[in-house]
Chain A
């Protein structure tokens, strides 16, 4: 209760600090900082190294409260998973802790809640779309949400699944569609205020990549049989080279999901860190000029870029999953056959 109150006070100060130049005038905070005896002007503050900051830090701490809060901590707090959902400046919702399940702490965390929100949105949205498609006949055109979703579904179906997997792509289509929509919505919800990016957590991306890994291996086993699968591990080389080839091929199996994991996680995390860092430049330098000239325009730019990246990363994850499945299921002489087409 005391903690909530503290956060509320801090949030109030933060909002007031943002509104003050609009209400009064932009040079007021500079005067204020000069009153506090900080020897930097606004222009100097723009060019100032971060090393100047410790001089200003006590002022900030004095202004906001009793406890020192570093920008890095705030960024990490935003990026990382936690057991609470904070709605600054309104308060914090503490998520329930569940008893361990087979020795695993399965408490509900912020990212779990985001996953559930994503799932709920997906289920509601696609139950409507699915219902629309149940009624549709080949002679009627889809409309509204169904039409919008059809563009995405058709894109995944033709440009991702069919062109990468080829024959038998229908079997893997539900997984690819689900993973695309799931990641896309996770990425986008991370850009919503108070949202969190579940795909910016390496555990989530790892799980998704492991799904792709298992599906790839299953498809490979099914396509080549156990013998073909094992032969594939030797890459068709002479038996004397097996001692080198087999470890390389086995490592190759695992690098693919590892790359998927890190790519999605790093992209999602990096964007958020960049946006928050840009915003915190103005807090660190305590300059509204910096806020207006650097932080806001650049973070808006990065934000728009993040919207693009949200789609791009969802597409890349799906695309690479389809590609790996396609590579795993390709038959002997399949390349030559593909070259004909």
Chain B
């Protein structure tokens, strides 16, 4: 049976025990001092060291990440620049080729034009010369024919005049 008076009022639970206080103090202080020396010191310093190590690893990792990102960015920029450069070179090459082609075509055109011109001139000259030659020839032939005719029948001079005027007419008509 629970004797409540014993528990609450007899002062047994709350009775002061100076001896126990004395021993608790001594025991606890000794334990505190010894544990501080043998355990808490090394454990806490190891934990702090590890914390610092982890922090520095994280910092290093962040640094490396930033560095690699910077390098990546740089590489991208370089690549973009190289692309642009290549584009530019191709475009310039194309333009240059175009220009050269145009130039060559132009030149060829001019050349051909010139050659045609020259050929025309030559043809003209040749024609003229041929005409002159032909004229002379025709004149000679006519003269010779007239000579023959005249020799045969008529006075050669009269005949020649007639023929000459006729040829003159011919040539003026033609031109």
A binds B: yes
A: which residues have CB within 8 A of B?
50, 53-54, 57, 70-73, 75-76, 79-81, 101, 104-109, 111-112, 115-116, 119, 122-123, 126-127, 129-131, 133-134, 136, 138-139, 149-150, 153-154, 157, 170, 173-175, 177-179, 181-182, 198, 201-204, 206-208, 211, 269, 273, 277, 284
Give the shortest distance, in Å, between A123 (CB) and chain B (any CB). Answer: 6
In the assembled complex, which residues on chain B have CB atoms less than 8 Å from the CB atom of A101? 22
Among candidates A57, A150, A175, residue contacting B32 with C-beta atoms closer than 8 Å: A175
Asked if A153 and B43 sit within 8 Å, CB to CB, the answer is: yes
Asked if B19 and A73 sit within 8 Å, CB to CB, the answer is: no
Among candidates A149, A182, A201, residue contacting B17 with C-beta atoms closer than 8 Å: A201
Asked if B35 and A122 sit within 8 Å, CB to CB, the answer is: yes
Closest A residue, CB atoms, query B51: A138
Asked if A79 and B31 sit within 8 Å, CB to CB, the answer is: no
Count of residues in B whose CB is under 8 Å from the partner chain = 41
Give the shortest distance, in Å, between A101 (CB) and chain B (any CB). Answer: 7
Asked if B31 and A207 sit within 8 Å, CB to CB, the answer is: no
Asked if B17 and A203 sit within 8 Å, CB to CB, the answer is: yes
Give the shortest distance, in Å, between B140 (CB) and chain A (any CB). Answer: 125
Among candidates A122, A154, A182, A207, residue contacting B21 with C-beta atoms closer than 8 Å: A207
Asked if B2 and A150 sit within 8 Å, CB to CB, the answer is: no
Does B149 belong to the interface (CB within 8 Å)? Answer: no
- Given known pairs A70-B3, A73-B6, the reply for A104 and B44 (CB within 8 Å) is no
In the assembled complex, which residues on chain A have CB atoms less than 8 Å from the CB atom of B62? none
Given A104-B19, A150-B47, 19 extra CB contacts under 8 A: A71-B1, A72-B7, A76-B12, A80-B12, A112-B20, A112-B24, A127-B38, A130-B43, A131-B38, A136-B46, A138-B49, A139-B53, A153-B43, A157-B47, A174-B35, A174-B36, A178-B28, A269-B13, A277-B2
B: which residues have CB within 8 A of A?
1-4, 6-7, 12-14, 16-25, 27-28, 30-32, 34-36, 38-44, 46-47, 49-50, 52-54
Among candidates A105, A130, A157, residue contacting B19 with C-beta atoms closer than 8 Å: A105
8 A–B contacts from the bound complex (CB under 8 Å): A105-B18, A111-B20, A119-B27, A122-B35, A130-B41, A177-B35, A203-B17, A207-B21
Closest B residue, CB atoms, query A139: B53
- Given known pairs A119-B31, A123-B34, A211-B28, the reply for A133 and B43 (CB within 8 Å) is yes
Among candidates A76, A80, A115, A138, residue contacting B23 with C-beta atoms closer than 8 Å: A115
In the assembled complex, which residues on chain B have CB atoms less than 8 Å from the CB atom of A182? 28, 31
Asked if A70 and B1 sit within 8 Å, CB to CB, the answer is: yes
Q: Kindly state the separation between the CA atoms of A231 and B22 in the bound complex, as whole angstroms.
A: 34
Asked if B35 and A203 sit within 8 Å, CB to CB, the answer is: no
In the assembled complex, which residues on chain B have CB atoms less than 8 Å from the CB atom of A198? 24
In the assembled complex, which residues on chain A have CB atoms less than 8 Å from the CB atom of B16? 203
Q: Kindly state the separation between the CA atoms of A183 and B77 in the bound complex, as whole angstroms.
A: 65
Asked if A104 and B18 sit within 8 Å, CB to CB, the answer is: yes
Asked if A178 and B2 sit within 8 Å, CB to CB, the answer is: no
Give the shortest distance, in Å, between B40 (CB) and chain A (any CB). Answer: 5
Q: Kindly state the separation between the CA atoms of A57 and B1 in the bound complex, as whole angstroms.
A: 9
